[in-house]
């Protein structure tokens, strides 16, 4: 990767990924794009262009203007928002992805877009979910992610586009609050613990989901994109995870730092049903074997870092 265009650069992953890529490749080599602008570091620390990913012409124009050699497509609706607006989610998630793949094909650029544990469904083996297995998701987000994986593989086999992807678990960060996800309870709980010493979870106790601290997710994107392509047996997309926990476990970890912290439950049936359709834990051995994936943060280390950063914030 030398000159990179990022879509959704002001989103939950994009805003931190933009800053990290500028540190690695140089600020002027990373073109941040999004449908709106704000005053965050991602928007102000290097080139920024307004791009609505459903507008193919503008996206291609911007990519040509900067002669990018890599397209990192992050713009998409997450699971809960997509479930509330399924037709809009299909048009944005799939229309945006097609436009980004076409842009990469025209510029002979490398390509990355994230998939998710949301690409699995109730008939998928739930524990240590394999890299290659059944994908019958029951959410619009999951349908988008499976279709997106297949479309990205198609662009590799049919047009030779160097497409790569990661099936992310829930991502946890202190920088950009998430929007519209199912796993976001695991982010909100830290903010509420610091602010109010208590949290009411919309996901029920005993609900296990894979999670990862954002620094590990950002490292994984760069590591995969820089990996030797001859070593890749898979491309779209690799299972990656750092931990699997349920709400009581993250609450117990928080209490090691905030002893009086209390968790209560007011289950949201829609997001609970989405969570119940996802794996309890996934097997990331393919990522480890093919490009040396390794997460550095476990629940203990993440909790210590999150609470420390949020207290500073």
| Smallest separation (angstroms) from ligand VAH to the CB of 58 | 26
Which tokens hold the place of 200? Answer: 């009411």
- Tell me which of 66, 141, 174, 190 is the catalytic residue: 141
According to the binding rule CB under 6 A, does residue 75 interact with ligand VAH? no
Q: Known catalytic residue: 141?
A: yes
Hey, CA dihedral for 91, 78, 221, 231, is it positive or negative? negative
Q: Closer CB to ligand VAH, residue 14 or residue 169? A: 169
Q: Which stretch binds ligand VAH (CB under 6 A): 1-9, 23-31, 155-163, 165-173?
A: 165-173
Binding residue for ligand VAH, selected from 17, 30, 78, 107, defined by CB under 6 A: 78
The count of other CB atoms within 10 Å of the CB of residue 44 is: 11
CB 81 within 8 A of CB 132: no
What's the DSSP call for residue 129? B
- Residue 68's closest CA among 112, 23, 35, 37? 112
Residue nearest to ligand VAH (CB): 181
# residues contacting ligand VAH (CB under 6 A): 12
Degrees, nearest 5: CA angle 141-298-293: 70
| Smallest separation (angstroms) from ligand VAH to the CB of 228 | 28
Report the residue count for the chain.
Answer: 313
Contacts of residue 310, Cβ cutoff 8 Å, sequence gap at least 6: 174, 190, 191, 194
Q: Closer CB to ligand VAH, residue 116 or residue 207? A: 116
According to the binding rule CB under 6 A, does residue 239 interact with ligand VAH? no
According to the binding rule CB under 6 A, does residue 169 interact with ligand VAH? yes
Q: Rule CB under 6 A: which of 115-144 touch ligand VAH? A: 116-118, 141
Helix axes 56-65, 86-106, angle to 10 degrees: 30
Degrees, nearest 5: CA angle 204-167-72: 125
Q: Closer CB to ligand VAH, residue 162 or residue 210? A: 210
Binding residue for ligand VAH, selected from 18, 183, 207, 281, defined by CB under 6 A: 183
Binding residue for ligand VAH, selected from 11, 181, 247, 279, defined by CB under 6 A: 181
Residues 79-118, mask of contacts with ligand VAH (x by CB under 6 A): x------------------------------------xxx
- Residue 172's closest CA among 8, 295, 33? 295
Q: Closer CB to ligand VAH, residue 62 or residue 143? A: 143
- Residue 31's closest CA among 74, 76, 63, 58? 63
According to the binding rule CB under 6 A, does residue 182 interact with ligand VAH? yes
Count of CA atoms in the C-beta half-sphere (13 A) of 119: 28
According to the binding rule CB under 6 A, does residue 279 interact with ligand VAH? no
Site residues for ligand VAH per CB under 6 A:
78-79, 116-118, 141, 169-171, 181-183
Active site residues per annotation: 141
């Amino acid at each position: 990767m030398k000159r990179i265009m990022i879509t959704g650069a002001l989103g939950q992953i994009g805003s931190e990924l933009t800053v990290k890529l500028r540190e690695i490749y140089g600020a002027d080599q990373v073109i941040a794009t999004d449908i709106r602008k704000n005053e965050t570091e991602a928007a102000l620390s290097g080139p920024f262009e307004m791009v609505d990913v459903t507008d193919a012409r503008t996206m291609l124009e911007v990519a040509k203007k900067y002669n990018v050699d890599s397209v990192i497509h992050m713009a998409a609706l997450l699971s809960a928002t997509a479930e509330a607006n399924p037709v809009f989610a299909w048009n944005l998630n799939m229309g945006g992805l097609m436009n980004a793949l076409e842009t990469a094909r025209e510029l002979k650029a490398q390509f990355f877009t994230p998939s998710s544990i949301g690409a699995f469904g109730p008939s998928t083996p739930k524990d240590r979910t394999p890299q290659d297995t059944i994908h019958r998701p029951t959410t619009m987000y999951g349908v988008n992610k499976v279709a997106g994986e297949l479309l990205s593989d198609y662009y590799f086999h049919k047009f030779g586009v160097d497409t790569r992807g990661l099936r992310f678990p829930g991502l946890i960060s202190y920088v950009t609050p998430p929007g519209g996800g199912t796993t976001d309870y695991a982010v909100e709980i830290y903010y509420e613990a610091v602010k109010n010493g208590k949290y009411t979870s919309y996901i029920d106790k005993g609900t296990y989901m894979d999670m990862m601290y954002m620094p590990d997710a950002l490292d994984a994107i760069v590591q995969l994109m820089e990996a030797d392509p001859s070593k890749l047996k898979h491309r779209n997309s690799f299972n990656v995870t750092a931990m699997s926990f349920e709400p009581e476990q993250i609450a117990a970890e928080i209490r090691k730092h905030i002893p009086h912290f209390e968790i209560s439950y007011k289950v949201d049936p829609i997001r609970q049903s989405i969570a119940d359709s996802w794996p309890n834990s996934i097997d990331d051995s393919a990522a480890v074997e093919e490009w040396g994936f390794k997460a550095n943060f476990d629940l203990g280390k993440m909790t210590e870092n999150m609470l420390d950063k949020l207290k500073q914030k």
